[in-house]
Amino acid sequence: MSLTRSAIIAVLTLGLILSAGLLIAAQPASAKPLSEADLVKLVELGIDGPVIVAKVKKDGIAFNVDEAVLNRLKAGGASREVLESVQQESRTKPNDQGAVPAKAVSYQDVLKLLELGLDQAAILKRVEQSPTIFTLDADQIIALKNAGATPTLLEALQGKRAPAEPTGDITDFAILLDCSGSMMEKTKEGQTKMVVAKRVVADLIQKIPDGLRLTFIIYGHDRKLECQAVQVVRELAEIDAAGKSELASAISALQPAGATPIALALRTAGKELAKNGAACGLVLISDGKESCKGDPAAEAAALAKNLKLSFGVNVIGFDVGADRTSLEGIAKAGNGKYFNADSAAELTAAVQKLRQELEQRAAPALKQRDTRTFAAAGKAAKPGAFVGDAPVIGVGEYKGTLAMLEAHYYQVQVRKGQSLRAVGIVQKTPYQAQNSIINQTFSLTLYSADLAVIVKEGSTVSGNPTAPVTFRANGTASADGIVYVAIAASDNHDPDKAPVDTSPAEPKPSIYTLRIRLEGDAAEGGAIDPVARVQVNPGTGFDQAGELKLPSLATADLKIGEVLFYRVPVKKGENLRVSAAFQKPWYEARNKIVGATYTLTVYDDDQVQVAQKKLEVAMNPPDAYSIVVAWPVELGGNAYLGVSCENSGQEILTGAAQVKPGRLAVQVSTGKPAAQGGNAFEGAKAEDK
């Protein structure tokens, strides 16, 4: 059958129409917009980027796009082209309220505005009106910077909100301490850098205001971990007295060991300080620069950029030498201050200055009721620093405070037959110490009028109890006279009485009450006249000997390795009594073997030795020990007295010349020995009882 040309055209036209209809019928219903989960799934399945982009353009998206969404997609493996397609689709997608979205600003738009020299405040305003969030690569950032883009504009383009203005009140603080191997080196004062740094940092922590959130981080403490040796000793949390005590114990156990990963330590501190997003600050103490190929200045800059670091990254360089420039760069990058310390004293001063600034900036803690503290009974009475200026006190209670290695002296007048009862009540001040060795001894010592030790009682307090310690010393007078009473506080020491470093280095004084009681009927007698106090300078040889009259008491000081001389006019047949009281100076010696030998020698008018006694004083007692010598004068004229002190322990760590002098009192009199407390002065011993 043949078809005409018209028929053929009609058939073809009908076929096209039917074909088109079939195609239309084959089209699926409008695809559902992609959710964030859908998009993540496509990325995770490894679908090619161009395919995902086509899908986004075709179906659209069903979620709002912000920086957090982009970061999640990027973390899941989304390519740059996928991210940009999502951003583009977000700009064309109506918002929830049906409002028309603001016109988007492209990367090229911003670059063009910069090249045209438009004011950046105006550009920033336009960017903030745009829904665009840019994912800028390194080349784009360089191009924008070359065109004059400021850091603020770059952050705005990437959707980062400008940080809120930091408040003036610091609530969060980080301390970073160098525990690298170089901290084993010694300072100019002879101690290791580590010992000094631990003491100073522990002191800083003790004085940080309660309520401040504190994190403490160490680095370089483990040789095996090498450049990964960073440890958060205390996570960011509010600090109080208990927290300070716990942290001080941890600090006392630190030992220097390895490398110096400052950059990693700063990054770790940043994670802690970011927990609350609050106004914060940081102090880094180091004796050298980064040794682990990190970039601590860049880390400091990142902290300043990403945190409310209103107190800055402050750096204390401890005896750093040529490494100072590197540490200064860290402080500068972190908007902080650099403090240089070439000695232990300078480190203490730097930390103190930093602490004062921190106290001024720290947010006030919530108001709580004051802690109830021990109240010492008694009235205030100015004590004597030694027997030479001891005031006379009567029956009653007297209060005061005792610093470490301090003794307070008083005089009590007693009558024959009376019993003296002295009671000490002391509340030890709390402190921390190296290796948590905390022992302090408090004592009461009674001395006769001849300065001889009658009795010594006391108690050693371990740890930091809140309850007071009490102790008592008794004596009975066999004649009218004077009794000296000394109440004293030792240094911190180990069980063998060897000194142990404390934190803080100088703890607050301990509070005490001294109670004086006299019992027994007192026989009637005349006034009790004290021995005259005189100011006489001793000599360094027989010819320069200072003259003492009978009876009298003179005070001076005596250094290790010195010998001093006095002379006393005497008559043949007199009974000369010579007493010397010594308060040994504090010092440390090798192997903790500390000791001093005191010698009291009497010479006749021909300067020939006629009597001598020695006294060995071990460790560092705070109160006086004494020697009493009697000599029946056989040759009239002058009696000469020699008083000397020698080191009898091992080598003094700081050198004998650097040890401060100890106190000395020399008393001369005549007559029979005074007997009080049942002990004659000649029989009194200086050892602890």
Q: Which residues of 214-229 are buried (b: 16+ CB within 10 A; e: fewer)?
A: bbbbbbbbbeebebeb
CATH 3.40.50.410: which residues of the chain?
172-361
- Tokens 């994912």 belong to 135
The yes-or-no verdict on residue 196 having pLDDT over 60 is yes
- Which among 62, 120, 71, 54 has a CA at the least distance from the CA of 93? 62
- Helix, strand, or coil (residue 294): coil
Residue type for position 415:
R
Residue type for position 604:
D
The yes-or-no verdict on residue 224 having pLDDT over 70 is yes
The yes-or-no verdict on residue 112 having pLDDT over 80 is no
- Which among 292, 303, 306 has a CA at the least distance from the CA of 330? 303
The yes-or-no verdict on residue 140 having pLDDT over 80 is no
The yes-or-no verdict on residue 195 having pLDDT over 60 is yes
Per-residue pLDDT band for 54 (boundaries 50, 70, 90) equals confident
- Contact by Cβ (8 Å): 598, 582: yes
The yes-or-no verdict on residue 402 having pLDDT over 90 is yes
678 vs 675: CA distance, rounded Å? 6
Q: Percent of the chain scored above 90 by pLDDT?
A: 52
| pLDDT, position 90 | 72
| pLDDT, position 91 | 62
DSSP for residue 681: G
- Contact by Cβ (8 Å): 303, 274: no
| pLDDT, position 1 | 40
CATH top-level class of 379-519: mainly beta
Per-residue pLDDT band for 394 (boundaries 50, 70, 90) equals very high
| pLDDT, position 674 | 43
The yes-or-no verdict on residue 95 having pLDDT over 50 is no
The yes-or-no verdict on residue 15 having pLDDT over 70 is no
- Contact by Cβ (8 Å): 669, 551: yes
Arithmetic mean of pLDDT, 40-66: 76
286-312 pLDDT, tens digit per residue, is 998 999 999 999 999 999 999 999 889
145 vs 151: CA distance, rounded Å? 9
Arithmetic mean of pLDDT, 47-64: 79
- Helix, strand, or coil (residue 38): helix
Q: Cα-flanking dihedrals φ and ψ of residue 305, to 5°?
A: -80, -40
- Which among 206, 267, 252 has a CA at the least distance from the CA of 506? 206
474 vs 457: CA distance, rounded Å? 9
Which residues lie across from 640 on neighbouring strands?
A: 567, 603
Query: Which range (150-154, 165-169, 191-195, 211-215) has the least confidence?
Result: 165-169
Tokens (6 digits) for 265: 């330590």
Q: Which residues of 410-436 are buried (b: 16+ CB within 10 A; e: fewer)?
A: bbbbbbbebebebbbbbbbbbbbbbee
DSSP for residue 606: T
DSSP for residue 656: G
Q: Cα-flanking dihedrals φ and ψ of residue 241, to 5°?
A: -60, -40
Arithmetic mean of pLDDT, 138-161: 74
Q: Where are the beta strands (DSSP E) in 158-294?
A: 172-178, 213-219, 230-238, 280-286
| pLDDT, position 22 | 32
* E strand or H helix that includes residue 37: helix 36-44
Burial of 533 (0-12, 13-18, 19+ CB in 10 A): middle
End-to-end CA distance of the chain: 144
The yes-or-no verdict on residue 342 having pLDDT over 50 is yes
* E strand or H helix that includes residue 338: strand 338-341
Residue of higher predicted confidence among 247 and 157: 247
| pLDDT, position 334 | 93
Residue 430 to residues 416, 458, 468, 588: CA-CA distances in angstroms? 42, 19, 12, 23
Q: Which residues of 468-483 are buried (b: 16+ CB within 10 A; e: fewer)?
A: bbebebbbbbbbbbbb
Residue 377 to residues 85, 372, 458: CA-CA distances in angstroms? 81, 15, 19
Query: Which range (13-22, 27-36, 38-47, 315-324) has the least confidence?
Result: 13-22
| pLDDT, position 671 | 76
Give the helix ranges, DSSP H, for 220-369: 241-252, 262-273, 296-306, 324-333, 344-361
* Report for 131-145, 380-394, 518-532: range of highest mean pLDDT: 380-394
484 vs 378: CA distance, rounded Å? 19
Arithmetic mean of pLDDT, 345-368: 75
| pLDDT, position 51 | 72
The yes-or-no verdict on residue 9 having pLDDT over 50 is no
Arithmetic mean of pLDDT, 40-58: 74
The yes-or-no verdict on residue 255 having pLDDT over 50 is yes
Residue of higher predicted confidence among 252 and 563: 563
Query: Which range (60-69, 269-278, 552-561) has the least confidence?
Result: 60-69
Q: Look at the chain and count its residues.
A: 689
CATH 2.60.120.380: which residues of the chain?
379-519, 533-683
- Tokens 């106004």 belong to 279
Per-residue pLDDT band for 137 (boundaries 50, 70, 90) equals low
Mean pLDDT of the chain: 83
Most distant CA pair in the chain: distance in Å?
175
Query: Which range (427-431, 610-614, 652-656, 682-686) has the least confidence?
Result: 682-686
Arithmetic mean of pLDDT, 177-201: 90
179-190 pLDDT, tens digit per residue, is 999 999 988 888
The yes-or-no verdict on residue 30 having pLDDT over 60 is no
250 vs 238: CA distance, rounded Å? 17
Q: Percent of the chain scored above 70 by pLDDT?
A: 84
Which residues lie across from 341 on neighbouring strands?
A: 318
The yes-or-no verdict on residue 94 having pLDDT over 50 is no
The yes-or-no verdict on residue 531 having pLDDT over 80 is yes
Per-residue pLDDT band for 496 (boundaries 50, 70, 90) equals very high
Crossing angle of helices 107-115 and 120-129, rounded to 10°:
160
533-683 CATH fold: Jelly Rolls (2.60.120)
163 vs 151: CA distance, rounded Å? 12
Tokens (6 digits) for 289: 């620069």
Per-residue pLDDT band for 102 (boundaries 50, 70, 90) equals very low
Give the DSSP letter string of 486-503: EEEEEEEB-TTS-B--EE
Q: Where are the beta strands (DSSP E) in 493-562?
A: 502-503, 510-519, 533-534, 546-547, 552-558
Tokens (6 digits) for 242: 């208990």
- Tokens 């908007």 belong to 335
544-568 pLDDT, tens digit per residue, is 999 999 999 999 999 999 999 999 9
Residue of higher predicted confidence among 425 and 155: 425
CATH code for the part of the protein at 172-361: 3.40.50.410
| pLDDT, position 503 | 84
Per-residue pLDDT band for 524 (boundaries 50, 70, 90) equals low
DSSP for residue 41: H
- Which among 562, 149, 212, 205 has a CA at the least distance from the CA of 361? 212
The yes-or-no verdict on residue 617 having pLDDT over 80 is yes
| pLDDT, position 236 | 93
| pLDDT, position 77 | 80
The yes-or-no verdict on residue 622 having pLDDT over 50 is yes
Chain centroid offset of residue 598 CA: 38
Peptide bond between residue 622 and the one before it cis (omega within 30 degrees of 0): no
